[in-house]
Amino acid sequence: MGVILMAMTIGGLIVAAILLIIARATKKVWLKHFVFGGLTTWVFAYAFLLFCGSFFSVERTLGLNEPKEFCGFYFDCHLHTAISDVKKTKMLGSKTANGEFYIVKVKVSSDAKRAELGLHAPKFEIVDAQGRRFERVEDLTVSGNPFEQKVPAGGAFEDEVVFDLPADVQNPRLDIAEGVGIDKVIESILIDDEDSIGHKRNYFKLEEQSQTVSVK
């Protein structure tokens, strides 16, 4: 619904621009007032729906293998992510954690029929009960961001992200987001989108799936 309303807004702005040009060329003051009145009404209605969508949104915590869909400013919502495994360890190769390493296996899948799709600049952060945020440990993963690779239609792949979390961490949950620049700006005003202003997020539960292992 949010994407449709955004598309209607863009279409309406184009029509409004054309009508204003006509009003100026024909010197029809009533038409200019009609266009500005319509635009004002639509802007307030859209802002109200945006506020309601965020205010009434509900934060969710997803469990093991429970998918989260990614739509963005598009009509398709074919890409999904899920947590397929979580492990904890003090040692990872020759590295010793400041607290404890969380090795999180993330599955990216697509149910598209034809096109290859991929996440755009995916970002992984863990949020704990105190609101602290922890980014993944870059130098313990493969170079670059393997999660930006394209997923063939109907396909999937898995890879791991590693976090070094303090010993006192409580209720750690993984937040996966994507997009940069103009994507984020557009999605911030997309009604009922997870990245819209003030909207509640979907997190992945980590603590219950964790098990202590020794990784060499």
Residue by residue, DSSP assigns 10-62 as HHHHHHHHHHHHHHHHHT-HHHHHHHHHHHHHHHHHHHHHHHHHHHT---EEE
How many helices (H) and strands (E) the chain has is answered by: 3, 9
What is the Cα–Cα distance from 17 to 35, expressed in whole angstroms?
9
Residues 137, 92: Cα–Cα separation, whole Å: 11
Residue 210 is predicted with a pLDDT of 43
Question: Strand pairing partners for 163?
Answer: 102
Q: What is the pLDDT of residue 215?
A: 44
pLDDT recorded at residue 5: 80
3-state SS, residue 8: helix
Q: Which CATH architecture has domain 60-209?
A: Sandwich (2.60)
**Cα gap 136→164, rounded to integer Å:** 7
For 68-87, b where at least 16 C-beta lie within 10 A, e where not — what string?
A: bebbbbeeeebbbbbbebbb
3-state class (DSSP) for residue 191 = coil
The candidate with the shortest Cα–Cα distance to 63, out of 215, 183, 210, 213, is 210
Residue 2 parent element (H or E): helix 2-26
* 138 DSSP 8-state letter: G
pLDDT value of residue 187: 81
pLDDT at 142: 57
Domain spans of the chain? 2-55, 60-209
**What residue type is assigned to position 137 of the chain?**
V
Q: For the chain, list residues with pLDDT below 70.
A: 1-3, 72-76, 139-144, 207-216
Beta-carbon-side half-sphere exposure of residue 196 (alpha carbons within 13 Å):
24
